[in-house]
Chains A and B, each alone.
Chain A
Amino acid sequence: MSGDAEPLDTRASPAEPTFSLGHFLRKYAIFLILAGLIFFFQSFEHAFLRFNNLFSVLQSVAVVALLGVGVTVTLAVDGFDLSVGSIAAFTLMLTSYAMVVLQFNAAETVVAALLTGAIIGSINGLLIVWLRIPDLLATLGTMFLLAGLQLIPSAGRSITVGLNLPDGSVATGSFDPAFLALGRYKIGGMVPLPVVIVALLVGAFWFLMERTRWGRVFYAVGGNETAAYLAGAAVKRYRVLAYIISGTLAALGGVFVAARVGRGDVFAGSSLLLDSVAAALIGFAVLNRRRANVIGTAVGAVFVGIVLNGLTMLNVPYYTQDFVKGLVLVGALALTFGIGRDRR
């Protein structure tokens, strides 16, 4: 009763939008730090700002950004897809197997990969919506399942041309050049194809999540599922859809990795999960949104990529990479949750 009658008069007056330095800093912190880092790296290593180097940074983070966007969509519905890394790794093995052993061509392979991603995503969604397994646990289960399953067809070995199959025969297929081009072609000899595709997808998903009513429903389901349902949203459908999107994007990520490496490497997808989750979480701090958002995730992925690239150029040993990523993540989270709160 009376507890609701909070003081009103102070904020009922129309507040002029005033410029606040603290607010500005919080909003653009990531970008300011990024600019500072670029300046720092550039002053030590003049090759840093060359187009070739910048595009190689983008190429290295494209897959992470793609998986991160999937994680972002699941975070928006208050879920969490832990299986994206495994889905990517699984598709990597699947595409290699499809071409090397089953002799699929590029188009067939890509379609099969994306379908597989969508199916795994819908299994995730159904485990969560139908069996009501908590999101983290369901996708953790799928993650294990896929990490094991990917090893079985090739008996635990990486898949290369001329693979010895478990029954003793030798695989006769090979990687379709059109497929390899997906990962290796550079438009105008400069811009890697995956970077362009991922940039377009980031744009498309930004539009979906921020500008359409469907995006609003994703976030509404995550914010208050009951309220969304009582407002007429097909809550379960949206939650399943979020996992289908994230599974499909992860599968596309696996395709890009396979096309770039040109072999079904058993270990190729190992760091993808942590990197993409980190990108999505760093994205919380971008523009001080304090929630999962597509642009933030992309910026987060690029941020990590630039830090790692710069440090590599400065000859910082590779084994410190995970430590640096962790540092960036903790810093971003502190920014978001600790000092990001605006007094309103």
Chain B
Amino acid sequence: MQDLSLDDIPTLRLANISKAYGPCRVLDRVDLSIGRGEVVALMGANGAGKSTLAKIAAGVVGPDSGQIFLAGKGIRLSSPRIARQSGIVIVHQSTDQLGAPGLSVGENLVLDDLCTGTFGVLAGNLKIRQRAEAVATGIGLKLSLERDFGELGPAHRQLVAIARAVAGNASVLILDEPTASLSAVEAARLFSVVDRLRSLGVGILYISHRLEDIRRIADRIVVLRNGQVVAKQVRPLDLTAAIKAMIGRDLTAMNAGRTNSSAGKPVLNLRQVRLIPGAQKFDLTVASGEIVAITGALGSGKSRLLGAVFGLTEVARGEIFFLDQPWNPKDPAAAIAAGVFMAGEDRWRSSLLPPLTPGADIAGTIALPHRPRWFPFGLVRPARERATAEERIKTLGIRCRNSRDTLDLLSGGNQQKVVIARWQAAPYRLLLLDEPFQGIDVGARRDLIAAIWATRRESATLIATSDVEEALEVADVVAVMRNHSLADLYDLRTSDPASFLAAISAIENPSYSERAFL
């Protein structure tokens, strides 16, 4: 054993890891190793199993089978605390869980010490500052320690969280989509911190599907699809091949599978629209029977565009026409009355009611926007609501006991089906879907796409999604949005499969300088 140099034994090795949630196999015999001072990029589409793998590595969930080795020794990571003690730390994606607003940056940097009691009883400002400075200089973080954590932007929060995470001599750092909400400059700062950690010998598992990040930072790539490792690369990286592996389908077959719809009359018409002051003007037409998907990075203006059509915001300049009439709904109620429906992103925030609320079951959730039309005299007839719901449950294949189930009993995919079912429960002219496939598995997505296709004939559909694969899968036309303006348009009905790849790389390659600041 001794003749192996330390560098040859991977710091962390996950071997033969499998994990299933109920009937849904999330990870299937996955092998992954991270060496000393190595940045391994974990790629994969939504639902590929990236986050589950990261959670297993960080001790948040346990694998069904498989082994974990740390510096060559088998180990059981039964809790995040044990993982942290063993030197494996994770920095989660959501920026609001990264620290405690109301406390200073310095206090946040030593928060773990303060909370676990290892700091000692006396926690004077001077002592906190000294310890925090040590933590900050450890990764080269230059930030005023007095500032309130709550005032920091997402990038600084992330850096503080990383500094805090690696303070206790971490040997493996897991970063889950760290640049998702960062601007170019901020991302650059993050990368320099990652470089520094790499030079200190920390192994880094970097989860992302941003090609620019991966090109800049990764030493190796591991691509997951449907819970299996489908590609591994070392530098030099071939990212086009990686994307192919990630999407994994024969692109020709994918194109053949779609039913070509002939575009009917224009339903929505944007002319010379400037979304926000200073953005580029653009035009966009969505015809009846047509599905247009807008894709682009976070903050590129997709949601804003949908919101403007639904009466949530106004555009800075230009005109919107709906069925050849000027269109400025004053609120969602006006839009809904005219047959423009929108399912917002983040269903628990935008669409669903807490389980104890009356009408929070499947039937009530579907009925919510339609009651003024269904029950003009005010008296709610539950039988009417349930009949519609039962029919939708059958059409969409929603897995539940019956329409009286509250939404918290359903899986994410089925919850999302209910949201879509709500807006398909009454006739509409234009359906706006903001991130309709967010946080759902592949099977549910396939069902939803089928449902969207089944009802598209009489009406127009406009979808916003940051996931290119989803856009390519569902849409007739893919529009790429950048800096609150349309950058490219790919009509997938008329173009050959090769243009798919062109579209993908155009979408996946927005260089940071072009990326919008939120």
Partner of A5, one of B332, B360, B401, B411: B411
Q: A5-B24, A5-B441, A6-B411 are in contact. Are A12 and B401 (CB under 8 A)?
A: yes
Residue of A14, A15, A214, A230 with most chain B CB atoms under a 10 A cut-off: A230
Interface set, chain B 298-313, CB cutoff 8 A to A: 310
Residues of B within 8 A of A (CB): 21-24, 26, 46-52, 310, 331-333, 335-337, 342, 344, 349-354, 356-360, 364, 368-369, 371-372, 375, 378-380, 399-402, 409, 411-415, 439-441
Which residues of chain A from 1 to 41 have a CB within 8 Å of any chain B CB? 1-15
- The interface residues of chain A lying within 8 Å CB-to-CB of B352 are 224, 227
Q: Is the CB of A4 within 8 A of B51?
A: no
B332 touches A232 (CB 8 A): yes
The interface residues of chain A lying within 8 Å CB-to-CB of B333 are 232-234
Asked whether A230 and B357 contact (CB < 8 A) given A4-B441, A8-B23, the answer is no
Contact B353 A224 (CB under 8 A): yes
Number of A-B residue pairs at CB separation under 8 A? 143
Contact A4 B440 (CB under 8 A): yes
Bin the interface of chain A by size. Answer: 35 or more
CA distance A212 to B21 in the complex (A): 40
Query: What is the bound-complex CA distance between A226 and B412, given in angstroms?
Result: 20
Question: Given A230-B342, A230-B344, A232-B337, are A8 and B356 also a contact pair (CB < 8 Å)?
Answer: no
Given A219-B357, A230-B342, A232-B336, are A5 and B22 neighbors across the interface (CB < 8 Å)? yes
Chain B residues whose C-beta falls within 8 Å of the C-beta of A223 in the assembled complex: 353-354, 356-357, 360
CA distance A233 to B49 in the complex (A): 38
**How many angstroms between the C-alpha atoms of A15 and B401 in the bound complex?**
7
The docked-state distance in angstroms from the alpha carbon of A212 to that of B412 is 30
Is B371 a contact of A213 with CB atoms below 8 Å? yes
Q: How far is the CA of A212 from the CA of B376 in the complex (A)?
A: 10
| B378 and A213 form a contact (CB under 8 A) | yes
CA distance A242 to B182 in the complex (A): 42
Kindly list the 3 A-B residue pairs having the minimum CB-CB distance in the complex, ordered from nearest.
Answer: A4-B412, A223-B357, A7-B22
CB distance from B425 to the nearest CB of A (A): 12
Assess whether A11 is in contact with B344, with CB atoms less than 8 Å apart: no
Residue with the highest number of chain B CB atoms closer than 10 Å, among A210, A211, A216: A216
Partner of B52, one of A2, A13, A212: A2
Contact of A220 with B by CB under 8 A: yes
Provide the residues of chain B in CB contact with A9, threshold 8 Å: 22-23
Q: Determine which of B47, B351, B354 lies in contact with A2 in the assembled complex, contact meaning CB atoms within 8 Å.
A: B47
B349 and A1 contact, CB distance less than 8 A: no
CA distance A11 to B24 in the complex (A): 15
What is the CA–CA distance of A231 and B336 in the complex, to the nearest angstrom?
A: 8
Q: Give 9 A-B contacts (CB < 8 Å), ordered by A residue.
A: A5-B413, A5-B441, A10-B22, A216-B380, A219-B357, A223-B357, A230-B332, A230-B350, A232-B332
Inter-subunit contact B350/A226 (CB<8 Å) = yes
Q: Inside 8 A of A260's CB, which chain B residues have their CB?
A: none
User: CB-CB < 8 A to B413: which residues of A?
Assistant: 4-5
Residue of A nearest to B419 (CB): A227
Tell me which of B359, B399, B400, B439 contacts A1 (CB under 8 A): B439
Residues of A within 8 A of B310 (CB): 230
Pick the contact of B412: A5, A228, A344 (CB < 8 A). A5
CB neighbours of B344 from chain A (8 A) = 226, 230
Q: Is the CB of B357 within 8 A of A220?
A: yes
- When chains A and B are docked, how far (Å) is the Cα of A3 from the Cα of B413? 11
User: A13 to chain B: which residues have CB within 8 Å?
Assistant: 401
How many Å from the CB of A249 to the closest CB on chain B? Answer: 20
Give the complex CA separation of A219 and B369 in angstroms: 14
B341 vs chain A, min Cβ distance (A): 9
A-B contact sample (9 more), CB < 8 A, given A2-B24, A2-B47, A211-B380: A5-B413, A5-B441, A6-B21, A213-B379, A213-B380, A214-B378, A219-B359, A230-B350, A232-B337
Q: Is A262 part of the binding interface, using a Cβ–Cβ cutoff of 8 Å? A: no
Complex CA gap A8/B414 in Å reads 10
A44 CB contacts on chain B under 8 angstroms: none
